[in-house]
A and B are shown apart, each in its own frame.
Chain A
Amino acid sequence: MRPSRVFRLLFRIFILLLTLSVTVVSLLGGYSAYLILDPSSKNIGVDYTDASFDVDFNNLTGELTAFNFSLPFNITNAGYFDLKDLQVGIEIGMRYEHVNYTIPGQNDTIFIKFFEKHQEFGTITKGNKGLFNFIGDLSNIISFPNATKINWYRTPPPDIEFFANFTIGLTYSLGLHSLSFNMHNISIGDYSYL
C-alpha cells in the first residue's frame, strides 16, 4: 500500500471514531432524557405540602405590603451525563373585577401578570438528586392592583383567580442538547374575601 493511502486510512479511522463518539453521546442523551422524564420513575417531584403563597395588603391604603411564594421541588438525574444550566421561570397572573367608581355597576374583568421570576439552579451531576426551592417575594412583583380597586363581592365567586406560566430549561449531553418545557395559563388557585 502506498504511504499516502496509509496516512489516509489513519485519518479516516480518526474521523470514524469522532463520528461514533458524537453519535453515542447523542443516543445516550436521548435515552437519558427518557429515563429522567418517564413519569413512572418519579425523578421529578414537586413538594406541594411545603409550598407556600402569602399575600398581605394594607387595610387602609389597599397597597400590597407582603408577598411570598415558595415551591420546593426535586430532580433526580438518572441519565448518563450532568444536567446543566437548570433554569426555572414562573409567571403568575390574576383575573379579577376592577371596580368602576365612575359608573357604578359597570365593572371590567381584568387579567394582569403581576409576578415574574427566572431562577437558576446550576448543575445536577449524574446519578444525584437535586433539592431546590423556587422562592419569590415582593421584589419580583411587576405591578399589583390596589386592593380597593378589586371587587370583593364578585358574583359568581371567586373574587380573584390565579394563573401561572411555567418554563423549565436545561442543557444536556455535554451541551449538545438544550431542552425547554413550557406550560401556559395553568389555574393555580383562587381567593374569595367572603
Chain B
Amino acid sequence: MGATKNMIRGTIYTSVYVVTTIILPFLFFNWVRNLEIPSLGEITLTQESYENIIFWIVAFGLIISGCAFFSYSSPKQSIRRAVFALIQVIVNCLYLWSYKFSGATEILFTFNISGYPGFLSLNLQTMVLVYMGVYFLTIVLKIYDLVDFSINRKKIRENRMKA
C-alpha cells in the first residue's frame, strides 16, 4: 500500500514540475513572442532567441521532472530520496543557468512604433544569479539531508517501523 502511495505522490509531483518548468515557461515565451501593446504596437521576440530558449527549457524541464518522480516516490527520509533530491536541485541550477546561455536572460524584442523600428533589450542576468545563489543554499540543505539520513539511518528506520 505504501509503495502505491509513493508512486502516486511521485506522479503528482512529476506533473507539478512538468507544469512549472516546461508548460508555464513555454506559454509565457509564446505569449511574449508576439506581444501587442496598444499605442506601442507589436513587440516581437526574435526567432533565434525563441528557439534556443524553448529547446533548453524542454530539455532541462524533462530531466527535472524525471528526478522529481524518483525523489518524491522514494520513502520519506530515505537515502535514495536525498540523493535524487540533490540531483534534482543541481539540475534545477543548470535549468536556471540554461536561461543565461540560451539567451533568455537577455531577451531581445523588436518593435515598430508609428513606423519607427527599434529594439528593446531586457537583461535579467543578475536576477538569475541571485536565484542561483538561493539554489546553492538549497544544495547545502540537500547535502545536509543526505548526511543526516546516513548518520541517523537506524533511528529513522525505528521510527518508520513504529509508525
Given contacts A2-B152, A11-B141, A177-B127, contact A184 B121 (CB under 8 A): no
Asked if B118 is at the interface of the complex by the 8 Å CB criterion, the answer is: yes
A39's partner among B39, B120, B125, B148 (CB-CB below 8 A) is: B39
- Contact of A178 with B by CB under 8 A: yes
Contact between A176 and B134, CB atoms less than 8 A apart: no
Q: Mark B133-163, 1 if CB is under 8 A from A, else 0.
A: 0100110010011001000100100000000
Chain B residues contacting A46 (CB-CB under 8 Å) are: none
Contacts of A182 in B (CB 8 A): 118-121
Flag if B126 contacts A178 (CB, 8 Å).
Answer: yes
Interface pair A181/B120, CB less than 8 Å apart: yes
Residue B47, interface by CB 8 Å: no
Chain A residues closer than 8 Å to B118, beta-carbon distance: 166, 181-184
B130 (CB) vs chain A CBs: closest residue: A22
Q: Does A180 belong to the interface (CB within 8 Å)?
A: yes
Q: Mark A170-192, 1 if CB is under 8 A from B, else 0.
A: 00010111111111111000000
A19 at interface, CB cutoff 8 A: yes
Across the interface, B134 reaches (CB within 8 A) one of A15, A177, A183, namely A15
Q: How far is the CB of A184 from chain B (nearest CB, A)?
A: 6
* Best-surrounded residue of A173, A175, A178, A179 (most CB of chain B within 10 A): A178
Is A149 in contact with chain B by the CB < 8 A criterion? no
A-B contacts, 10 listed (Cβ < 8 Å): A2-B152, A4-B152, A15-B134, A15-B138, A18-B137, A22-B131, A39-B39, A40-B39, A177-B127, A178-B126
